Amino acid sequence: MHYVGMTAMRMNAQVRYDPGLFMLALLCAVVLAIAALSIRSQPVASRVRGRWSGAVAALVMGGAITGMHYTAMFSAYFVRDETARAVTGSLDPAFLATIVILVSGLLIALVLSATVAVRYLDVVQRLRRANDELRQAASVFDHTAEGIMVTDAAAKILSVNRAFTWVTGYAASEVLGQTPKVLGSGRHDENFYRALWATLLKTGHWEGEVWNRRKNGEIYPELLTINAIRDKHGAPQNFVALFRDITQLKRTQEELERLAHFDALTGLPNRTLLGERLHHALDRIRRSGGELAVMVLDLDGFKTVNDSLGHPTGDRLLQAIAQRLAAALRAEDTVARLGGDEFAVILEDLKHGGDAAEVARKLLLSLAEPVDVGGHSALVTVSIGIALYPEDGGDSIALLKAADTAMYQSKQTGRNTFHFHHSDMTLAVRRRLDMEEGLRRALEGDELEVWYQPQVDLASGAVIGAEALLRWRDPRAGLILPNEFIPLAEETGLIIAIGDWVLNAAAAAARRWREQFGWHWKVSINIAGPQIERGDFHFSVLRALGGNALPAEALELEITETFIMHNADNALEVVRQLRALGIKTAIDDFGTGYSSLAYLKHLPIDRLKIDRGFVKDLPGDRDDAAIVAAVIALGASLGYTVIAEGVETEAQRDFLRRAGCDQGQGYLFSPPLPMAEFEAWVRERER
């Protein structure tokens, strides 16, 4: 710029340059320009570069221009035209300008073409690289073991890979343009897919297990990942689904699960699974209440069998025993093999902890028959220990330990038996079992008796009937009262046979009294719930009447208020049918069962029997007095005869009579008596 400018100057002289100073000007310009550029581009100190480097560089650049300009001006000298030619050793300005323009132009051209060349090379390289990636991606798409499916925003299938075809059985041409619904198995409901789409649209991603259907109809599990690809506005443009068939994986998992939780020899749950089930059962019971029992069973003398017949036989024996134990239990109970010849049982939903004894007996019985193992018949027994939740332990470990301790007691007391961890329970259950056995024996062996208690007309004092009351004369324990054994008889079902026996005995007594003494009264018989519930009760009654040639009104059936209140209409229907046959019915223990007055009106009964509990404190207790007076009035207004039980004193009798009660029964008149004594009592009174 400087030299061209100098040449362009119009003057009457020619410019000449001193070559040495010209070189100095050039040097000054180049060195300072380089310095300025380096200040601008190099990190001298970040702070200087940040704020001041621009200014410093500009200053240096200014210095470069100024230095160059002044040095160049200094190198110039002006001569007249005519002397110019004579001056030698100086530089001609035109020549200098041309050289400077040419060199600058060349430099600019060089820099420009170098820049373009570098850019071009860069683009080519990147293109080259992108192509590689594409080819790799295509190859991965087709060779990956995972099925891939790409859809558009409306879930229309755009492309699938080869693995898709291997897994689903559909060729690409069969599914393009369809939606993934073609693969639906029907195993997931609408909610499942709705939740899937909600997550996918919200987060752009979904992952989980899905059951799909192959072209051949087979349903299979797959692990599915779906990603949404969004356009620049964020709206989903494509969905890419990646899935893997995990049928094999599932099968392996199940097999591992089985191995981890079941005993390989017997197929029963193992100790681990037993622990888990017990844990869950306890959780349930803590929430909803109830009783639970854990039993530990140890085979007696298994070692002898194993040693004498060999281990393969021992194994077969264990398998057979496992089957028998499982068969003796309900499906919902768990029997597990703890290891060796030890088993364990969980019993849930017990009404009463003592009921576990019943199951223990069943288990003992299930091994009573010898087991046939490969031509040998082996007889093994088992010792059982029972622990109850919550009495014997609060968690599974404590319960198993308690049951184990109890099991050792069974071993010590002769094996082939069971023990509760709680010795009281063992005692109570034993007593119960003894009683049950005794009761069966009593029924067969003439140990039952019916005693009779008179019922009296309160106004006249005349005997108008008798209640038959059962007694058990146990050869060892002596006389046992019904409250001690009737509940057990009801639970075990023995009450059916016992009830029939009482019915016949009472009917026979009624017949004898009619025939021998002309006593045409009713004999009252207590009936238990299970007798009525069985459904064929009226046959029993008709048989008892027919067998003794008695008219229907010779018998009265007493049913407790509690039973009437707690039982379904069909039980009442049975009572109604009996009554239609002419048989009398009474509500026993009236006042203890909370029957509503409205309900009372519809009951198929003839007589109300006021419970002893209300009579006991008459006439002193004002509440009882009021209740009894009200019941009598109510009974009368509904047309029922009213009888009071448990009348022990004259004051009670007088109060009842004054309140309008028709009849009474109690120690004041006579306690229940054996038949002969009862007859003597009545005849004495009649005299």
Residues that bind Mg ion (CB under 5 A): 526, 558, 588-589, 645
Hey, how many other C-beta atoms are within 10 angstroms of the C-beta on 266? 21
CA distance linking residue 321 with residue 336, whole number of Å:
12
**Is residue 481 close enough to count as binding ligand C2E by CB under 6 A?**
yes
Nearer to Mg ion among residue 146 and residue 589 (C-beta): 589
| Binder of ligand C2E out of 160, 486, 545, 600 (CB under 6 A) | 486
Q: Which does 667 bind (CB under 5 to 8 A by kind): Mg ion, ligand C2E, none?
A: ligand C2E
Identified binder of ligand C2E from the candidate list 146, 348, 358, 589, rule CB under 6 A: 589
| From candidates 57, 469, 523, 632, binder to ligand C2E by CB under 6 A | 469
Q: Is the dihedral of CA 253, 258, 264, 267 positive or negative?
A: negative
Task: Report the SS3 class of residue 570.
Answer: helix
Look at residue 335 and give the partner it binds from ligand C2E, Mg ion, none, a contact being a CB closer than 5 to 8 Å depending on partner kind. Answer: none
Q: Which is nearer to ligand C2E, 148 or 564 (CB)?
A: 564
| Cα torsion 21, 27, 28, 30: sign | positive
Which residues within the stretch 615-674 sit at the binding site for ligand C2E (CB under 6 A)? 645-648, 665-667, 672
| Nearer to Mg ion (CB atom), residue 165 or residue 567 | 567
- From the list 346, 349, 304, 348, the residue with the least C-alpha distance to 325 is 346
- The residue among 302 and 485 lying less far from ligand C2E, judged by its C-beta, is 485
| Closer by beta carbon to Mg ion, 645 or else 679 | 645
478 binds ligand C2E (CB under 6 A): no
Q: Find the residue with minimal CB distance to ligand C2E.
A: 666
Q: In the bound complex, what is the minimum distance in angstroms from residue 652's beta carbon to ligand C2E? A: 9
In SS3 terms, 428-458 reads as: HHHHHHHHHHHHHHHHHCCCEEEEEEEEEEC
Q: Rounded CA gap, 664 and 653, in Å? A: 8
Tell me which of ligand C2E, Mg ion, none is bound by residue 528, counting a contact when its beta carbon lies within the kind-specific cut-off of 5 to 8 angstroms: ligand C2E
Give 27-80 as a 3 state SS string.
HHHHHHHHHHHHHHHCCCCHHHHHHCHHHHHHHHHHHHHHHHHHHHHHHEEEEC
Own/partner long-range contacts of 323-330 (Cβ < 8 Å, ≥24 apart):
324/366, 324/367, 324/371, 325/297, 325/363, 325/366, 326/268, 327/366, 328/359, 328/362, 328/363, 328/365, 328/366, 329/359, 329/362, 329/363
Q: How many CA atoms lie within 13 A of 227 on its CB side?
A: 5
Asked if 529 is part of the footprint of ligand C2E (rule: CB under 6 A), the reply reads no
Q: Nearer to Mg ion by C-beta: 275 or 482?
A: 482
Q: Pick the closer one to Mg ion by CB: 236 or 591.
A: 591
Q: How far is the CB of 358 from ligand C2E (least distance, A)?
A: 22
Order of strands across the sheet with 147-152? 157-160, 147-152, 236-245, 219-230, 205-213
Site for ligand C2E in 547-586 (CB under 6 A): 558
> From the list ligand C2E, Mg ion, none, which binds 393 (C-beta under 5 to 8 Å, kind-based)?
none
Smallest distance from ligand C2E to CB 372, Å: 46
Helix (H) or strand (E) holding 376: strand 376-378
Q: How far apart (Å, rounded) are the C-alpha atoms in residues 669 and 649?
A: 9
Phi/psi at 45 (nearest 5 deg)? Answer: -150, 135
Which residue's entry shows tokens 């009713």? Answer: 522
DSSP designation for 18:
-
Binding mask 499-518 vs ligand C2E (x if CB under 6 A, - otherwise)? Answer: x--x----------------
Our finding on whether 588 is near ligand C2E (CB under 6 A) is: yes
**Coil, strand or helix at 343:** strand
- The yes or no reply on residue 453 touching ligand C2E (CB under 6 A) is yes
Q: How far is the CB of 509 from ligand C2E (least distance, A)?
A: 12
Among 76, 470, 559, 586, binds ligand C2E (CB under 6 A): 470
Q: Which of 163, 382, 386, 528 forms a contact with ligand C2E (CB under 6 A)?
A: 528
- Tokens found for residue 408: 């050792």
Question: In whole angstroms, what is the distance from residue 2 CA to residue 100 CA?
Answer: 10
Residue 506 interacts, among Mg ion, ligand C2E, none and using kind-specific CB cut-offs from 5 to 8 Å, with none
Q: CB 422 → ligand C2E: shortest distance, Å?
A: 29
Give the nearer residue to ligand C2E in terms of CB position, either 348 or 588: 588
| In the complex, minimum distance from the CB of residue 561 to ligand C2E, in angstroms, rounded to a whole number | 11
Identify what 510 binds: ligand C2E, Mg ion, none; CB under 5 to 8 Å per kind.
Answer: none
Which CB sits closer to ligand C2E, 345 or 507? 507
502 binds, among Mg ion, ligand C2E, none (CB under 5 to 8 A by kind): ligand C2E
In one-letter notation, the amino acid at residue 460 is: S
Scanning 167-175, 265-273, 284-292, 525-533 for contacts with ligand C2E by CB under 6 A, the matching segment is 525-533
**Is the Cβ of residue 588 or residue 606 nearer to Mg ion in the bound state?**
588
Helix (H) / strand (E) containing 565: helix 561-566
Q: Which does 483 bind (CB under 5 to 8 A by kind): ligand C2E, Mg ion, none?
A: ligand C2E
Binds 507, which of ligand C2E, Mg ion, none (CB < 5 to 8 A, cut-off by type)? none
Residue 682: partners with Cβ closer than 8 Å, 6 or more residues away: 454, 463, 517, 519
What torsion do the CA atoms of 245, 248, 249, 250 make, to the nearest 10 degrees? 100
Shorter beta-carbon distance to ligand C2E: residue 494 or 647: 647
Angle among Cα 16, 19, 20 to the nearest 5 degrees reads 135
Per-residue three-class SS string for 583-640: CEEEEEEECCCCCCHHHHCCCCCCEEEECHHHHCCCCCCHHHHHHHHHHHHHHHHHCC
Q: How many residues bind ligand C2E (CB under 6 A)?
A: 24
Residue closer to ligand C2E (CB basis): 373 or 586: 586
Pair type for strands 291-300 and 371-373: unpaired
Specify the residue, 63 or 482, whose C-beta has the smaller distance to ligand C2E: 482
Least separation in angstroms between residue 527's CB and ligand C2E is 6
Pick the closer one to Mg ion by CB: 269 or 666. 666
- Type of residue numbered 482: P
Give residues in contact with ligand C2E (CB under 6 A): 453, 469-470, 481-483, 486, 499, 502, 526-528, 558, 588-589, 612, 645-648, 665-667, 672
